[in-house]
Amino acid sequence: MSSIHSIDVTTIDGETKSLADYQGKTLLIVNTASECGLTPQYEALEALYKEKKDQGLEVLGFPCNQFGGQEPGDEAAIKEFCSMKFGIEFPMFAKIEVNGDDRHPLYSALFDAMPERTTSPDSGFEEKLKNYGINVVDGQVMWNFEKFLVDGNGEVIGHFAPDMTPSDPILSGAIDKALA
C-alpha cells in the first residue's frame, strides 16, 4: 500500500492541488453527482465536515458523470449547484472518471489499496442496481457517492458503499476511529 499524497488533483476552480496538502488529515473521498437519488447525501456530508473538520477530517468531493449521466454540468454549474442547494464548503474538485480506461490515478490508487467495499447488512443497493440492469463489477465504483476513508498518512483504511450515509454507525465509527 502506498500513500495517495503523491497524487495531484484539479480543484473545481481549475487549480492543480497536491493531495500532500492534506497530509496529517483524515480524508473521506466521495464521487458525487447532482442529479442522483443519493444527491441528498451532500447535506449529510457537509454536516459531517462542519462537525469534524476541527478534529482533522476533510471531505473531498469528486463529481463524476459515469453513472446514469447524473452529473451532466460543467464545473461552474456543479459548484453553483453545491453552493446554492447544499451550502457545500468542503473541497470540491473537477469532474473525473472513476472507472474504466480513463480512471483518474486517485481512484486507481484507492482501489489498488482497498478494492473490497463495506456495505450495510440490510442495504439491498446492489440488488436495486441489478434490477435496473446495472452490473456491479469488482474493482470498480458501484455508483455515485461511494466513499473511501484515508488516514493522515495517506493510507486507505476504508471503502464504503454508495448508500451508506455519514450517519451510518459503520461509517461514522470508522471515521471516529481514524480521527482518534
Q: Smallest Cα–Cα separation from 179: which of 18, 43, 89, 53?
A: 53
* Residues in a beta bridge with 27: 58, 150
Residue 139: predicted pLDDT: 85
Angle, CA 64 vertex, CA 58 and CA 69 arms, to 5° = 145
Residue 62: predicted pLDDT: 98
Residue 1: predicted pLDDT: 41
Residue 130: predicted pLDDT: 85
- Report the alpha-carbon distance of residue 48 to residue 176 in Å, rounded: 11
- Report the alpha-carbon distance of residue 15 to residue 144 in Å, rounded: 24
| Domain ranges within the chain, ordered by starting residue | 4-179
CATH superfamily of 4-179: Glutaredoxin (3.40.30.10)
Each residue's pLDDT expressed in tens, for the chain with a length of 180 residues: 458 999 999 999 999 999 999 999 999 999 999 999 999 999 999 999 999 999 999 999 999 999 989 999 999 999 999 999 999 999 999 999 999 999 999 999 999 998 889 988 888 888 888 888 888 888 899 999 999 999 999 999 999 999 999 999 999 999 999 999
DSSP SS3 for 83: helix
- Report the alpha-carbon distance of residue 68 to residue 49 in Å, rounded: 27
Residue 2: predicted pLDDT: 58
Catalytic residue numbers read 36
